[in-house]
Amino acid sequence: MRVAILLAAGRSRRFGRANKLLVQSGGLRLIDRTLAIARAAPVARVVVVTGHDAPAVTRAARGVRTTIVHARDHEAGMGASLAAGLAVLRPREREVIVLLADMPGVPGGLAARLWRALRPGDAGVRPVWRGLPGHPVLLRLPLVQMPTGDAGPGRGARLRPVPGPRGCVQDVDTRGMLARAVTKRRPAR
């Protein structure tokens, strides 16, 4: 079975005092936009990994086919959050699409496109835009190497690159970036 893991554990340090995932822009919070992308993927469920501001992110992320898990060691970095998400997977859940909660410009159909690109023997697939590795990352389990510290998804695995859109490399770090991302794109439904 297929699962989406949405990493939503960061501190939003460059955004200012507010948790960027909970800031509204264009009538929706950033977490609402990225959850819509995750839920539009061809998956059985979405695992949302919280860390900083966990109670508020948990309230915002609740929904049908959604499992919330708290990464106790989220301060150690993305790898620690990913490991927390992977730890709650069921034995039959063998393919995972890993999305970042601060990337609202990822096209809704990109996850399905990555699954179509997956070939027998691939450890996973990653979109690449102009030579830059992007997200989401599709991983086939079990992983060759479990993530640790700030290692992102796919570190240590040979992921087959596929051409991706510009939105696969654009995250939101400031209020200005959020405003630009929202005016360019409406959320997947």
Q: What is the mean pLDDT of the chain?
A: 86
Please report the pLDDT score of residue 106 as a whole number.
Answer: 92
Rg (CA), the chain: 15
Q: How confident is the model at residue 115 (pLDDT cuts 50, 70, 90)?
A: very high
d(CA 88, CA 123): 20
Is the distance from CB of 133 to CB of 161 less than 8 angstroms? Answer: yes
pTM, two decimal places: 0.88
How do the domains of the chain map onto residue ranges?
2-184
> For 38-93, what is each residue's pLDDT tens digit?
999 999 999 999 998 999 999 999 999 999 999 998 888 888 899 999 999 999 99
CA atoms within 13 A on the CB side of 177: 18
10 Å CB burial of residue 175 (0-12, 13-18, 19+) is: middle
CB 136 within 8 A of CB 97: yes
In angstroms, the CA 132 to CA 167 distance is 11
The CATH T-level fold of domain 2-184 is Spore Coat Polysaccharide Biosynthesis Protein SpsA; Chain A (3.90.550)
Asked if residue 8 has pLDDT above 70, the reply is: yes
pLDDT of residue 26: 81
Task: Give me the amino acid identity at 173.
Answer: D
Q: Which residue has the higher pLDDT, 13 or 105?
A: 105
